[in-house]
Amino acid sequence: MGCVQSSGREEAAGKVEEPPKAYSWDRKDKVDPADFTLEGLRGEEAGRVPGSINGQQFIIQNCQSSHIFLLDHINTITIDDCSDCTIFIGPTTGSVFVRDCQECVVVGACGQFRTRDCCRLEVYLLCQTQPIIEASSKMKFGCFQAFYPQLKDHFSKASLSVFNNNWSNVYDFTPVDGETNWSTITQPSALPHAFPLPRSQLLASVGLSVEEESSVVPYTLGSPQYHGQEAALVILFHDNDQHHKATAFIAALRSQVVNCRIQHSREVKMEAVDAVRVFQGSEHKAAVSQGPVIALLCLGTGVHQACTTLARDMGAYVTPDSSIGLRQIDSFFSYASMSMTM
């Protein structure tokens, strides 16, 4: 008997075709650039609510006399050719780049901030590195202050520290001899007066506030020298409750010292050799090895005694009320400035 052979046609009929392979890059949601662009607004209010940007890049361009609110965390953002606008920018991991804009108020938190060819901007900023202006004039910089319920989480998702604010250390890339292209705003009341809150039902429902008292970011005075005032540098060492302790410390200190202000806040990683130089001894080498420290430079009458009392319960370090303490303050911020380079 001969062998029974099936025809090619029969084999094809019985064969089950395998589904095409699916790769991770094929499964990504398609991004529509229009969802992450605001363009050509004229006298309008527009923006995005939490969850609608979710770490994407964003573009704002060619807008006039409009109020813009980006209430989410962002990757990077460019703002081009805008005039007479107020713009709120949620925590941005990378850069905020503002070009060819004038007569705008910008509130934002970012890793890097830069302007080019801008004039008469008020910028209320949290910046992890040194802000840069280029070919820009009549610029004013103040400290970021804002709250909405998701903002703290957005800072975390953007990998930004609310205590690492370099807002007043502006670098002018194109200085003009005999002129100053930028100045600082050191009154917390300035931002609420300059920045109107959302009025549309959708954006207003997010609950944005720009008052100092509710701000997620501590209000700091920035660059002016503290010498001649009573000062205490408080350093909180790393643990799982560090951020909460720092926030609670500021609140308690302000309740005890009426005229208390925070000059600078920093969150930086210290090496053992840096700790020895700053603390002028080796007793804190082990503590700094656990992770970044949070430093608060506090000013006000009676502030040193208040800081010392509060620090006992938190295991924090307070610089001595002496010339040694002043040297430690200078040494710490010299190190911190080098750690926050561009």
Annotated binding site for GTP: 94-95
Q: Confirm if 293 and 237 have CB atoms less than 8 A apart.
A: yes
DSSP output for 170-225: -EESS--TT--SEEEE--TTHHHHH-PPP-SHHHHTT--B--GGG-SSPPB--SS-
Structure tokens, 331: 């040494």
Contacts of 25 (CB under 8 A, 6+ apart): none
- Residues making up the annotated binding site are 94-95
CA–CA gap between residue 220 and residue 25 (Å, rounded): 44
Q: Confirm if 128 and 161 have CB atoms less than 8 A apart.
A: yes
Contacts of 33 (CB under 8 A, 6+ apart): 59
Q: Confirm if 125 and 109 have CB atoms less than 8 A apart.
A: yes
Q: Confirm if 294 and 242 have CB atoms less than 8 A apart.
A: yes
